[in-house]
């Protein structure tokens, strides 16, 4: 890693060997990823502007990253290959803290001199996860079968869109079969 100040280390909650590190300064890469617990690091700064990166938020179960820089928040949807300014109500000021609540899907940014800002990210659809427990199991296939034969699902559960694993616009027995094959 370059001889720069480390500003943030974020460990992936789903894989403790995977972590991200950000650095301040100019003229060197600013965002790094490790997949082996820190034995080696890969530069994922991509096309992020040459700015100090002060904070990072990782969105679980996706390739989505948010970087808090000296010029606002930048977003990557492909694991850091490309970055775009995230202008969803966030100011163009130094962002020193980013936090993401996976349950509420709210991203919060702490800034220098402008206060704290928040944004609700859209919900992720995990195909096959009908019961919403963030896992695809045989119980999800059972729920799809119940819906396919017209039985009511427990309150708050919906077979579509999560149960439509082949993305054909309907939830049916074939979707349950695909889920069971996966499981």
Per-residue pLDDT of the chain (183 residues; tens, 9 = 90+): 999 999 999 999 888 999 999 999 999 999 999 999 999 999 999 999 999 999 999 998 778 899 999 999 999 988 899 999 998 888 889 999 999 998 899 999 999 888 999 998 887 667 888 887 878 899 999 999 999 998 988 887 878 888 888 878 888 999 999 999 888
pLDDT at 45: 96
The pLDDT value given to residue 123: 72
Q: What is the DSSP letter of 169?
A: S
Distance between CA 98 and CA 169 in Å, rounded? 36
How far is residue 60 CA from its own chain's centroid? 4
Residue of 53, 60, 69 whose CA lies nearest to 135: 60
Confidence at residue 9, expressed as pLDDT on a 0 to 100 scale: 96
What integer pLDDT is reported at residue 103 of this predicted model? 84
Question: Which two structure tokens, joined as six digits, stand for 115?
Answer: 């206060």
Residues 6+ apart with CB under 8 A from 149: none
pLDDT of residue 138: 92
The tokens describing 120, both together, are 């609700």
Tokens of 40: 């080696």
Of the candidates 41, 34, 79, 39, which has an alpha carbon nearest to the alpha carbon of residue 58? 79
pLDDT score recorded for residue 44: 97
Q: 96-103 long-range contacts, Cβ below 8 Å, gap at least 24? A: 96/54, 96/55, 96/68, 97/54, 97/55, 97/68, 98/55, 98/56, 98/57, 98/66, 98/67, 98/68, 98/73, 99/57, 100/57, 100/58, 100/59, 100/66, 102/13, 102/59, 102/60
Residue-level pLDDT at 134? 76
Output the pLDDT for position 19.
96
Q: What's the pLDDT score for residue 121? A: 87
* Model pTM score: 0.70
Other C-beta atoms within 10 Å of 178: how many? 19
- 65 vs 138: CA distance, rounded Å: 31
Predicted local distance difference test score (pLDDT) of residue 125: 67
């Amino acid at each position: 890693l370059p001889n720069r100040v480390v500003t943030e280390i974020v460990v992936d909650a789903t894989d403790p060997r995977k972590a991200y590190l950000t650095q301040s300064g100019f003229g060197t890469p600013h965002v790094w990823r490790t997949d082996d617990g820190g034995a080696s690091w890969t530069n994922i700064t991509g096309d992020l502007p040459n700015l100090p990166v002060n904070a990072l938020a990782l969105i679980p179960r996706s390739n989505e990253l948010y970087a808090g820089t000296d010029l606002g928040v930048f977003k990557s949807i492909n694991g850091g290959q490309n970055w775009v300014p995230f202008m969803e109500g966030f100011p163009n000021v130094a962002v020193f803290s980013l936090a993401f609540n996976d349950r509420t899907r709210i991203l919060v940014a702490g800034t220098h001199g402008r206060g704290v800002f928040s944004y609700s990210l859209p919900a992720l659809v995990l195909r096959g996860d009908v019961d919403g427990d963030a896992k695809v199991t045989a119980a999800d296939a059972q729920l799809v079968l119940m819906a396919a034969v017209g039985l009511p699902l427990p309150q708050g559960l919906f077979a579509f869109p999560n149960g439509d694993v082949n993305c054909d616009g309907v939830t049916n027995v074939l979707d349950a079969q695909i889920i069971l094959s996966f499981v």
